[in-house]
A = this chain, B = another copy of it.
């Protein structure tokens, strides 16, 4: 029962043609109709599946695309990954996934592993900066950034949510409700968002109300709790990610701050549980899936042209976690 898989030679011999012809027929090259049909028949009959191994070696590149993201456990990244997988599947390409934990060193390691595998197309949510990415790009990797870009990597196409508009909308909404002391709770690799926050706040900005956590849940919780304790005078918080938002809700509850009476909260990224919270959470929704899909699309047809990045719209979804300053509003 040790049937070796049929190779292209088997097909060629059985069909009475040369291997080159078989290869051409299967790759869509030119061949006479009768030859084509005979080859196809024999191939189907032998259940021949071309080996990607041989092809990869010959073309010196593995077909697949690499996907690097900070944490597959985070639903946002999970949705980005889902988008990439969907696109890759429709193109029949395998996807090699690696998680960086937002650690540039680990990221570099993974890139090394991918190159060893012959992967030459990469979708990444980058952790490292331009310096860290330089060797990778010089090596000829077709790269597309997703969700965020990297300092000094301006020439790499990126598929981003419109953070600028998102942050502005959030800040405008909060200030419109009368809030002045608005805190920003940020995560790693979001210099862009933070900069826009400062810009949108203008003269209202208070550097003490800006806290940046590392990637972990603990770190996020510590940052939120520390902020709330240290500055009990703040009236609103913008959480720059669902992990930060989660931490904010937990810390607020622990400190007996009621949302939205004592504090208004807007969270970046809409997640299923935002509606389950009470009060339900007002969020800036990002098209995570689309981000992944578009990024994969770009990287798949990326060889020839060098397309400029894409900016996808965000959306403010008003639920129950924000109230006018000084007013008590009953949660939905």
Contact = CB atoms under 8 A, between A and B. Distances in A.
A298 interface: no
Interface string A227-267: 00000000000000000001001100000000000000000
Contacts of A82: 71-73, 99
Interface in A109-143: 110, 112-118, 138
Given A118-B51, A278-B278, A64 B97 contact: no
B114 A94 contact: yes
Given A72-B85, A95-B96, A64 B277 contact: no
Contacts of A54: 57
A92 interface: yes
A72 B81 contact: yes
B81 A116 contact: no
A49 interface: yes
A115 B51 CA distance: 8
Bin the interface of chain A by size. 35 or more
Nearest to A89: B98
A7 B95 CA distance: 25
A306 interface: no
A272 B271 CA distance: 12
A96 B52 contact: no
Contact of A273 (B61, B71, B74, B273): B273
Nearest to A1: B138
A79 interface: yes
A50 interface: yes
A307 interface: no
Interface string A199-229: 0000000000000000001000000000000
A54 B54 CA distance: 9
A133 B97 CA distance: 24
Contacts of A73: 75, 78-79, 82
Interface in A154-193: none
Nearest to A271: B273
Contacts of A57: 53-54, 56-57
A52 B114 CA distance: 10
B277 A52 contact: no
Nearest to A59: B53
Given A52-B118, A273-B246, A85 B99 contact: yes
Q: Which of A60, A72, A95, A277 lies at the interface centre, i.e. has the most chain B CB atoms within 10 A of its CB? A: A72
A72 B64 contact: no
A275 interface: yes
B97 A95 contact: yes
B246 A276 contact: yes
Given A53-B62, A94-B96, 6 more contacts: A51-B116, A53-B118, A64-B117, A96-B96, A249-B276, A276-B276
Interface of A: 1, 49-54, 56-57, 60-64, 71-75, 78-79, 81-82, 85, 89, 92, 94-99, 110, 112-118, 138, 217, 246, 249-250, 271-273, 275-278
